[in-house]
């Protein structure tokens, strides 16, 4: 029998305890032995909880118990999660975490410690919630070189954009619903709406794909606060959906372009059909080509299912996952955002479509469709570098009231 400890008994931690209890028999078959939760450590009190006998408040009990070989970290954030995880690895215990902030900022260091200690540091649930992505990229696509990753990586904002588009909910109403359903980050929901959560996830995937740690503060990041219901309607009329996209692309010179932004996705693209709390992650590699991973990106049991899969993996592994690894390097290998080439959507506060088209074509050259909705007109430009686009946008803004602009994704 393997005894595990859970630290952080919130949405994910309680889900992990529930999955281990509910599917005990099948989990034991897959792991080759019974898995039992011995301790659950949380700072809160839980009256009438069925796991009362396991609840503790002092993490050092776990650290000093030689029977605990796997620690599940589901506290979130860096403090005290980082120290608890590091201490667990140094105490020769494998760690499974759902904490993307931890992996995105300290992944290289924790992977190094795990490797030196001959234990596992696994984090499937840190990206995509319950949707498998880390293990498929690391194991099933091991024969490939990665070219590009682009995804809808944040369940909360995708849920909110879907509710705003389908039911006309305001931004605040949609966020409050996402919080009630346990999708939004409890520590700081702005992590979802301002793109930081998506940024952490694309950093993890890009670090895994390209072998070097990419830190969240290196990534140009914007969230969905600027997206209005008019943008959603106009994008729809132009044939697009609006999604928060995290993407990382290897350039010909070996550098990587990485960013997080709200963007237009063509209705013909599979990514545009990823709605509600679902995540969709497009991975482009040299041998397989494109593959899309789709599934629930947040929520108690979906996320717990990924955590428990990591526990099973570490229990049955004869060999430690030595190849699940990336390094921190000092040299900068990220491409300047000004060089990225994309089409753009612009929304102008002017209902006169003919006038907008005439003026916009003076600046951007020939345009395709132009659509209006209420007091606004919107159009999409041809592809050009970010630097050229910004110059042209500034010229247009001197002639017409430009209210919003977003990239158009080439997927």
Ligand X SMILES: NC(=O)C1=CN([C@@H]2O[C@H](COP(=O)(O)OP(=O)(O)OC[C@H]3O[C@@H](n4cnc5c(N)ncnc54)[C@H](OP(=O)(O)O)[C@@H]3O)[C@@H](O)[C@H]2O)C=CC1
Annotated binding site for NADPH: 100
Residue 273 sits at the vertex; the CA angle it makes with 271 and 274, to the nearest 5 degrees, is: 70
Cβ closest to ligand LTNE7NMQ, residue 248 vs residue 378: 248
Measured CA to CA in angstroms, residue 231 lies from 155, 222, 370, 377, 392 at distances of 20, 16, 13, 10, 20
Binds ligand LTNE7NMQ (CB under 6 A): choice among 42, 73, 124, 185 = 185
Looking at 162, 303, 305, 314, which residue binds ligand X (CB under 6 A)?
Answer: 303
Site string for ligand X, 127-156 (x = CB under 6 A): --x---------------------------
Spatial distance between the Cα atoms of 309 and 121, rounded to a whole number of angstroms: 13
The residue among 294, 276, 273 whose CA lies nearest residue 163 is 276
Query: Is there binding between residue 299 and ligand X (CB under 6 A)?
Result: yes
Task: Give the CA distances from residue 395 to residues 226, 360, 361, 385, in Å, rounded to whole numbers and listed in that order.
Answer: 21, 9, 12, 16
Report what 234 binds from ligand LTNE7NMQ, ligand X, none; CB cut-off 5-8 Å by kind: none
Q: Is there binding between residue 298 and ligand X (CB under 6 A)?
A: yes
Distance from C-alpha of 247 to C-alpha of 150, rounded to nearest angstrom: 4
Asked about 30 being catalytic, the answer comes back as: no
According to CB under 6 A, which one of 68, 71, 72, 75 is a site residue for ligand X?
Answer: 75
Neighbours of 324 (CB within 10 A): 19
H/E stretch holding 180: helix 171-180
Q: First-to-last CA distance in the chain?
A: 47
Cβ 298 to ligand LTNE7NMQ shortest distance, Å: 4
Identified catalytic residue from 163, 201, 300, 407: 201
CA dihedral sign, ordered 32, 38, 44, 46:
positive
Site string for ligand LTNE7NMQ, 237-276 (x = CB under 6 A): ----------------------------------------
Pairing of strands 146-152, 240-250: antiparallel
**Is residue 321 a contact residue for ligand X (CB under 6 A)?**
no
In angstroms, what is the minimal distance from the CB of 61 to ligand LTNE7NMQ?
A: 28
Q: Which residues are catalytic?
A: 201
User: Would you tell me which residues interact with ligand LTNE7NMQ (CB under 6 A)?
Assistant: 129, 154-156, 183-185, 192, 197, 297-298
């Amino acid at each position: 029998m393997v005894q595990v400890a859970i630290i952080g008994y919130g949405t994910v931690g309680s889900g992990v305890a529930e999955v281990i209890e509910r599917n005990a028999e099948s989990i034991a078959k897959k792991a080759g032995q019974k898995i039992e939760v011995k301790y659950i450590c949380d700072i809160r009190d839980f009256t009438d909880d069925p796991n009362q006998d396991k609840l503790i408040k002092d993490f050092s009990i776990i650290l000093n118990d030689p029977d605990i070989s796997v620690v599940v970290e589901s506290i979130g954030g860096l403090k005290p999660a980082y120290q608890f995880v590091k201490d667990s690895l140094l105490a020769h215990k494998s760690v499974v975490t759902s904490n993307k902030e931890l992996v995105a900022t300290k992944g290289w260091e924790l992977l190094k410690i795990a490797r030196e200690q001959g234990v596992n540091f696994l984090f499937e649930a840190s990206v995509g919630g319950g949707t498998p992505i880390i293990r498929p990229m690391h194991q099933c696509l091991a024969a490939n070189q990665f070219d590009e990753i682009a995804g809808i990586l944040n369940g909360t904002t995708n849920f909110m954009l879907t509710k705003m588009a389908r039911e006309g909910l305001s931004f605040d109403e949609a966020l409050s619903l996402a919080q009630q359903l346990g999708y939004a980050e409890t520590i700081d929901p702005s992590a979802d709406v301002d793109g930081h959560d998506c940024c952490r996830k694309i950093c993890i995937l890009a670090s895994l794909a390209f072998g070097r740690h990419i830190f969240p503060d290196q990534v140009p990041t914007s969230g969905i606060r600027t997206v209005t219901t008019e943008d959603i309607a106009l994008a729809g009329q132009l044939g697009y959906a609006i999604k928060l996209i995290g993407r990382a692309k290897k350039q010909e010179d070996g550098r990587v372009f990485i960013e997080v932004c709200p963007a237009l996705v063509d209705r013909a693209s599979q990514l545009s059909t990823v709605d509600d709390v679902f995540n969709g992650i497009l991975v482009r590699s040299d041998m397989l080509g494109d593959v899309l991973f789709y599934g629930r990106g947040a929520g108690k049991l979906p996320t717990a299912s990924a955590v428990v899969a990591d526990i099973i993996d570490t229990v049955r592994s004869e060999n430690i996952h030595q190849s699940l690894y990336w390094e921190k390097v000092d040299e900068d290998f990220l491409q300047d955002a000004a060089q990225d080439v994309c089409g753009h959507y612009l929304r102008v506060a002017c209902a006169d479509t003919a006038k907008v088209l005439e003026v916009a074509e003076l600046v951007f050259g020939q345009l395709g469709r132009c659509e209006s909705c209420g007091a606004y007109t919107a159009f999409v430009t041809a592809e050009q570098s970010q630097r050229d686009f910004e110059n042209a946008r500034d010229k247009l803004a001197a002639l017409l009231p430009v209210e919003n602009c977003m990239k158009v994704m080439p997927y």
